[in-house]
Structure 1
Amino acid sequence: MKKQIAVLLGLALSAASLAYANTSLTVYTALEADQVDAYKAAFQKLNPDIDIRFVRDSTGVITAKLLSEKDHPQADAVWGLAATSLMILKQQGMLQGYTPKGADKLSRPFVDSSKPAQWTGMDVWAATICFNTVEAAKKHLPVPQTWADLTQPVYKGQIVMPHPASSGTGYLDVSAWLQLMGQKQGWAYMDKLHNNIAQYVHSGSKPCSMAASGEYPIGISFEYRGAELKSQGAPIALIFPKEGLGWDLEATAIVKGTKNLAAAQKLADFSASLPAMQLYQKSYAVLAMPGVAQPNPNLPRDYAKRLIKNDFGWAAQNRDAILQEWSRRYESKAAPKS
């Protein structure tokens, strides 16, 4: 009898182990496409019993998808989405509180203030102008030094930027301009800039890629894509406007109601760990964990000091109203959605 019980117990434990070994974690992300595989491999090397199934798109698309699934969530976790988007999900009661192991080693502004935390920051991405020096020379375009410079008539039809409803980069631009200039002057600035915009595209990195290929001489984008393309030999200069740079945090969170909570917590733990930060530093110059980031030869050494004083709470709370007003004014130049 004891032998039979032992056999049955062994079978039960084996079945439980097999079930956990086959845990599939659905993770929504706005990470760049060329980052996803490396991030997945690094996590699964330490957690071979958990398989990540990424659902990837631009920030605005992923945010809208999560909100549309509020009553029937499909994601277990979010890894690499704007903190301003996660703040909206937090307001909607959609996130599972969990403070990752090692979160005390992260800079305080990178961790949600709730206890337990509902999201945990990873890294900073910020606005950058990608300027094709070859194409600009052909068209006799001066090098812009400020955001204000981009409204000069000489740049008419020469600029592409991300659509803020689709792209987190686009939204951090619009939010930053409104914070830097105030509501009245911010919208007046964007009215003038709109005159020079050729197209609003549905990706934060695409404007820089378009500038690098010469499709347009100027792309408002973000520093990771610009630095990467420049290091690959693209004829672009990276310009960091003197007024200051809009920025946001990439962050991780667990979706409330997940049936794979233990696995999602392991993902959150990894995202806040040193191995993950060492992975992030390959792309970003400002990280949640101090002392890990390395200088990037394509970025200024005082890069972190150029970031504006960003009110994330305001940006999250006013996102819908800002996007509605932006669309009313500028949607006519939006690129078709593929």
Structure 2
Amino acid sequence: MEKSIKMLATTAILALGTATAALAEELTVYTAVEAEDLPRYAETFNKAYPDITINWVRDSTGIITAKLLAEKDNPQADVVWGLAGTSLLLLKSEGMLEPYAPAGMDKLDPKFVDSDNPPAWVGMDAWVAAVCYNTVEAEKAGLTPPTSWKDLTDPQYAGQIIMPNPNSSGTGFLDVSSWLQMFGEDGGWAYMDALHENIARYTHSGSKPCKLAAAGEIPIGISFAFRGAKSKAAGAPLEIIVPSEGVGWEMEATAIIAGTAHQEAAQKLVDFSVSMDAMQMYNQGYAVVAIPGVAKPVEYFPEGLVDAMIDNDFEWAANNRATILAEWQKRYDGKSDPK
């Protein structure tokens, strides 16, 4: 009898373990979010959903976008979280996204929601272009602060500017696509030809030019405003300049990859991506989030930046992305960092 009871108990424990394992799920999530932010997103999500494990695959925007497109016929990701909106528009046009209307979507600013019903993607936050200007290094080099994008073509800045490569960086692509919108196609390429003369190198990260400027390795980094504010708050001698012509911007967005075997778990993650808890966390890294009125002021975030955001044509940028990137690479890739 005792042996039978032990066997029954063992069987019950094994059955419970099997059931628990069956309930646990793993999601492969492709992301371009800053690596330092991912653990706290997962930790907060797991407070509500402890049985869903997030396996992050993190790289820069261009690399993640290319990886997803290469895997189109054999998708490896379940969810894309925190990829540029223009990239998600491209994935949508390829039929790679599973439409889903997450709980709480009605609270989002409409420009952060795909136009289809149900939407193919939903936005999270936005990052905005800016110039990080190291006042100490600039003074050593005898430079005067620029006030506009076109000022950066002045010969005084020769070899003193770093910006992101748009083929690998979402920040780089928003810069290039916004210049083409602001200055027109011919004017935009003429501007970039002149700017290229002053570029020391192109990085494969959108935040790196500002980090390098903050560290004193270069006087001027074309990057995004929050990165500059964060570095300035840490004591870097930076001025964050908002060019007078206006600034490009891009949103981070989330979507479910069509064909995922973990549909319900993926939907829970997308629900979380537009929740109030998530928005408050985004605000630690971004001054603009998808739910209006949530974002608190960010220390050292430059005044007037939100007003300077251009009326960005994301559809145009997405539809012309491949052509823009090919032309940019042909003209300027010789100064890019090794991959």
Please tell me the TM-score bracket, short chain as reference.
over 0.9
Once the two structures are TM-superposed, the CA of residue 19 in structure 1 deviates from its matched residue by: 1.4
Out of 137, 141, 144, the residue aligned to residue 142 of structure 1 is 144
2:324 maps to amino acid:
I
Once the two structures are TM-superposed, the CA of residue 303 in structure 1 deviates from its matched residue by: 2.6
User: TM-score, normalised on structure 2?
Assistant: 0.94
Out of 33, 36, 44, the residue aligned to residue 34 of structure 1 is 36
What's the C-alpha RMSD, in Å, of the aligned pairs? 1.5
Distance across 1 between alignment mates of 2:14 and 2:113: 42
Q: Counterpart in 2 of 1:68?
A: 70
Q: Counterpart in 2 of 1:319?
A: 321
Q: Counterpart in 2 of 1:4?
A: none
Q: 3-state SS of the aligned residue for 2:221? A: strand
1:171 maps to amino acid:
F
Q: Counterpart in 2 of 1:93?
A: 95
1:53 maps to amino acid:
N
Cα distance change on mapping 1:115 and 1:16 into 2, 3 Å: farther
Q: Counterpart in 2 of 1:5?
A: none
Out of 20, 23, 34, the residue aligned to residue 20 of structure 1 is 23
Task: Report the count of equivalent residues.
Answer: 329
Q: 3-state SS of the aligned residue for 1:199? A: strand
Does residue 130 (structure 1) correspond to residue 132 (structure 2)? The answer is yes
Q: Counterpart in 2 of 1:3?
A: none
**Contact conserved, 1:295 with 1:301, CA < 8 A, in 2?**
no
Matching of residues 167-316 of structure 1 within 5 Å: 167-316=169-318
Q: 3-state SS of the aligned residue for 1:74? A: coil
**Contact conserved, 2:159 with 2:199, CA < 8 A, in 1?**
yes
2:22 maps to amino acid:
A
1:243 maps to amino acid:
E
Q: 3-state SS of the aligned residue for 2:288? A: coil
Distance across 1 between alignment mates of 2:12 and 2:73: 38
**Contact conserved, 1:124 with 1:247, CA < 8 A, in 2?**
yes
Once the two structures are TM-superposed, the CA of residue 236 in structure 1 deviates from its matched residue by: 1.0
Once the two structures are TM-superposed, the CA of residue 11 in structure 1 deviates from its matched residue by: 8.2
Q: 3-state SS of the aligned residue for 1:300? A: coil
Distance across 2 between alignment mates of 1:97 and 1:231: 40
User: TM-score, normalised on structure 1?
Assistant: 0.95
Q: Which runs of 5+ in 2 are unaligned?
A: 1-10
Matching of residues 155-174 of structure 1 within 5 Å: 155-174=157-176
Distance across 1 between alignment mates of 2:183 and 2:152: 15
1:18 maps to amino acid:
A
Distance across 2 between alignment mates of 1:101 and 1:129: 37
Q: 3-state SS of the aligned residue for 1:127? A: strand
Q: 3-state SS of the aligned residue for 1:114? A: coil
Q: 3-state SS of the aligned residue for 2:82? A: strand
Moved more, 144-153 or 293-302: 293-302
Moved more, 291-300 or 173-182: 291-300
Once the two structures are TM-superposed, the CA of residue 224 in structure 1 deviates from its matched residue by: 2.0
Question: Identity rate of aligned residues, in percent?
Answer: 59
Cα displacement string for residues 243-270 of structure 1 (whole angstroms, at most 9, x for unaligned residues): 1111111000000111111110000000
- Deviating above 6 A after TM superposition, structure 1's stretches of 4 or more consecutive aligned residues are 8-14
Distance across 2 between alignment mates of 1:312 and 1:9: 56
Q: Counterpart in 1 of 2:8?
A: none
Distance across 2 between alignment mates of 1:118 and 1:14: 36
1:334 maps to amino acid:
S
**Contact conserved, 1:130 with 1:236, CA < 8 A, in 2?**
yes
2:141 maps to amino acid:
K
Once the two structures are TM-superposed, the CA of residue 332 in structure 1 deviates from its matched residue by: 1.0
1:19 maps to amino acid:
A
**Contact conserved, 2:171 with 2:223, CA < 8 A, in 1?**
yes
